[in-house]
């Protein structure tokens, strides 16, 4: 099969021509495998797609058009009303996000105590100190004042999770800059729960070049020079 090891980007599938040469063609959205309700996604055109296969297949078929350029994955799940983010909420957002990232790393560390897997040995050593210090704040919905006080008092515990998340996203390519598509996996999964995340990332891009540099990312989360 000439298509066996031939890679196509999202929205395209491999097709062998009459000479047996593989090339990429747009995925037919109607030919995408059936999905469950929880696999539905919302596009930036505010339409619900049965899954990412259907969304990116549609985007591919619109290639070269304004509509195609503007169509992206907005968030996971069916489209719904997302309320506007207030100035107060966007100011408080880094507090919750920092706490959430810290708790994720602690969960990964606990899981890796029994089976190695998610974190590297170097990452485990970093998180071990955070884990040992984190019995004060139990994961939960904490008031803003408590999160702010804990950040100021235990600043060092919040720095690594912020750095770690940036480097998890900075993959294609690794260049200390986050593109829209590199941010998408985090953004898309959080929008239904955290309606301020889109505005937060827009405001992180201080120089409006559509890229979030490492310094901009840290500044957004309140991490000092």
Q: What is the DSSP string of the chain?
A: -TTTT----TTEEEEE-TTS-EEEEE--GGGSPP--GGG-EEETTS-EESSHHHHHHHHHHTTTSHHHHH--EEEESS----PPPPHHHHHHHHHHHHHHHHHHHHHHHHHHHHS--SS-HHHHHHHHHHHHHTTSS-SS---HHHHHHHHHHSHHHHHHHHHHHHHHH--TT-SSEE-HHHHHHHHHHHTTT-TTHHHHHHHH-TT-SS-EEHHHHHHHTT---
Average pLDDT over residues 196-216: 94
- The structural domains of the chain, ordered by start, are 12-76 (3.30.60.30), 87-221 (1.10.238.10)
Report d(CA 30, CA 3) in Å as an integer. Answer: 21
Q: For position 136, what pLDDT does the model report?
A: 64
Q: What are the backbone angles phi and psi of residue 43, rounded to the nearest 5°?
A: -85, 165
Taking all residues of the chain, what is their mean pLDDT, rounded to a whole number? 90
pTM: 0.77
Report d(CA 198, CA 138) in Å as an integer. Answer: 27
% of the chain exceeding 90 in pLDDT = 59
Q: Which residue has the higher pLDDT, 147 or 160?
A: 160
Q: For position 41, what pLDDT does the model report?
A: 94
Per-residue pLDDT of 21-65, as tens digits, reads: 999 999 999 999 999 988 999 999 999 999 999 999 999 999 999
Average pLDDT over residues 174-197: 90
Report d(CA 105, CA 70) in Å as an integer. Answer: 34
- C-beta of residue 110 within 8 angstroms of C-beta of residue 127: no
Per-residue pLDDT of 105-153, as tens digits, reads: 998 988 887 776 788 888 988 898 888 877 666 656 678 888 888 888 8
Residue 211 has pLDDT above 90, yes or no: yes
């Amino acid at each position: 099969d000439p298509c066996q090891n031939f890679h196509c980007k999202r929205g395209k599938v491999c097709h062998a021509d009459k000479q047996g040469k593989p090339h990429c063609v747009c995925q037919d959205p109607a030919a995408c495998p059936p999905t469950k309700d929880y696999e539905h996604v919302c596009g930036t055109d505010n339409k619900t797609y049965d899954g990412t296969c259907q969304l990116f297949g549609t985007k591919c078929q619109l290639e070269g058009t304004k509509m195609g350029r503007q169509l992206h994955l907005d968030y996971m799940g069916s489209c719904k009303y997302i309320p506007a983010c207030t100035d107060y909420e966007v100011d408080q957002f880094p507090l919750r996000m920092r706490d959430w990232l810290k708790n994720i790393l602690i969960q990964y560390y606990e899981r890796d105590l029994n089976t190695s897997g998610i974190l590297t040995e170097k990452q485990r050593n970093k998180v071990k100190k955070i884990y040992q210090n984190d019995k004060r704040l139990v994961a939960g919905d904490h008031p803003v004042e408590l999160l702010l006080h804990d950040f100021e008092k235990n600043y060092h515990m919040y720095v690594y999770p912020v750095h770690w998340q940036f480097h998890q996203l900075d993959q294609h390519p690794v260049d200390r800059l986050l593109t829209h598509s590199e941010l998408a996996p985090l953004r898309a999964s959080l929008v239904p729960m955290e309606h301020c995340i889109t505005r937060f990332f827009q405001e992180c891009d201080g120089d409006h070049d559509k890229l979030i540099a490492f310094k901009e990312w840290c500044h957004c989360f309140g991490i000092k020079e």
